[in-house]
Amino acid sequence: MNQRIKIITLCILLLLTGWLFYPLQAQKMQTDETQQVMTEIRTLNLLNSLHLTKTQMQALLPLAQEAKKEQQKMKLEYDKIQNQDMALLKKIRDHLKDNTDLPQDLQKQFQQKKSSVEDTAQGYKDKMKSLTDKSKKIFNENQLVLIGEYQACIVPKKSVTNPERSGQAGGQGMIENMLEKARKMPQEKYTAQKSKILSQLDQRLKKSVKDEAKRKEAVNKVSNAMDEARKLSDEEFQLKKSEIAKTISPEALGLPDMSQMKTDRNIQAFILNPFAADLLQYKISKAK
């Protein structure tokens, strides 16, 4: 099989497995009851932490209902396209049994299918982005921060210093947890893990920081922070962990601000998911 056939076949396999429909899959639209209940719990954990007013919930409800309709339409379209893809794949498979190259008509069919899928997926993404932007106007500044920092969970962990922050550790909390774990590692394991972390960081920085000297400086900051955390006593670490974490935050290292992306993603996953409208309706009915 020549290189062109390999590329085309790979593209079709990616298409069949839903790669072009990642925005749809990211909504986790499983019909399985267990998955639905877990998604509802994660949604409720976020909604409960926001302390939304009745007016806010009433404003969010039509957006959530519209999002649900869009997701149902997309699910039907996705299932239809998958069936069509299977027929095309079988044609390609049958042809390649006796040939090493694809005829122009099959290549044309694939290109048309690819363009159609991309257009459909982009239309869905644009619609969800519009609903997300409208939703963001309903929340106050503090609520948007909480949404951006929320990490999906079944049993929410409350912060002692900030009890409104529900969910697993996010943002700076994740950095503090990383430092905590680094402190507890045996030296041999720490050396190996530290090398891996720094290598991954350098790769991430290459995407946004072109200056090699600045990248090296950022990597050294993280290395030094991890070493410092290990040298401190338990009492000293508890006092200084927040300060150390801030020195190696994404902003301090020159990484792009991901907060807006996280906020948008969490709104779509937990406030505009297929089950959120019913939960909002229930809460509105109970609100005073």
pLDDT digits (tens, 9 = 90+) for 28-47: 444 578 889 999 999 999 99
User: Do residues 184 and 194 touch, judged by C-beta distance below 8 A?
Assistant: no
Residue 253 located in a structural domain: no
- Residue 279 belongs to domain spanning: 3-164+264-286
Per-residue pLDDT at 76: 86
Q: Is residue 255 part of a domain?
A: no
Could you report the per-residue pLDDT of 117-175, keeping only the tens digit for each?
788 888 899 999 999 999 999 999 899 989 988 888 787 665 433 444 444 444 567 78
209: left (phi over 0), alpha (psi -120 to 50) or beta: beta
Residue 12 lies in a domain: yes
Angle, CA 38 vertex, CA 34 and CA 44 arms, to 5°: 145
Whole-angstrom distance, CA of residue 113 vs CA of residue 121 = 12
Predicted pLDDT at 62 = 97
Do 210 and 131 share a structural domain?
no
> Is residue 258 a part of any domain in this protein?
no
First to last CA, the chain: 68
Residues 11-35 have a mean pLDDT of 53
Question: Do residue 43 and residue 98 come from a single domain?
Answer: yes
Q: Which amino acid makes up residue 228? A: E
Q: How far apart are CA 124 and CA 100, in angstroms?
A: 37
Q: Are residue 239 and residue 128 in the same domain, yes or no?
A: no
- Mean pLDDT confidence for 234-256: 86
pLDDT digits (tens, 9 = 90+) for 180-199: 999 999 999 999 999 998 99
Same domain (yes/no): 44, 123? yes
C-beta of residue 222 within 8 angstroms of C-beta of residue 248: yes
Lowest mean pLDDT among 109-118, 127-136, 273-282: 109-118
CA angle 137, 250, 198 (to 5 degrees): 150
93 lies in a domain? yes
pLDDT of residue 115: 78
Q: Is the domain of 25 the same as that of 114?
A: yes
Mean pLDDT of 64-71: 95
Say if residue 220 is in the same domain as residue 273: no
Q: How many domains does the chain have?
A: 2
129, 242: one domain: no
pTM for the structure as a whole: 0.58
- Domain assignment present for 256: no
pLDDT at 63: 97
* Cβ count near 65 (within 10 Å): 16
Task: Report the distance separating Cα 270 and Cα 27, nearest Å.
Answer: 9
pLDDT at 86: 80
| The pLDDT of residue 11 is above 70 | no
- Report pLDDT for 17: 43
Tokens of 92: 């390609």
Sign of CA dihedral 232, 234, 240, 242: positive
> Residues 268, 142: one domain?
yes
How far apart CA 110 and CA 206 sit, in angstroms, is 35
Ramachandran area for residue 52 (φ above 0: left; ψ -120 to 50: alpha; else beta): beta
5's CB contacts (< 8 A; 6+ apart) are: 96, 100, 101, 102
Domain contains 13: yes
Q: State whether 111 and 141 are in the same domain.
A: yes
Structure tokens at 130: 């519009």
Give pLDDT, residue 57. 97
Flag whether 96 is in a domain: yes
Half-sphere exposure of 69 (CA within 13 A, CB side): 8
275 and 231 within one domain: no
Which helix (H) or strand (E) segment is 283 a member of? helix 276-286
Instruction: Based on the fold, state whether residues 92 and 184 are members of the same structural domain.
Output: no
Based on the fold, state whether residues 8 and 136 are members of the same structural domain.
Answer: yes
Average pLDDT over residues 275-283: 96
Please state, rounded to an integer, the average pLDDT across all residues of the chain.
82
pLDDT above 70 coverage of the chain, percent: 82
* Residue 21 DSSP symbol: G
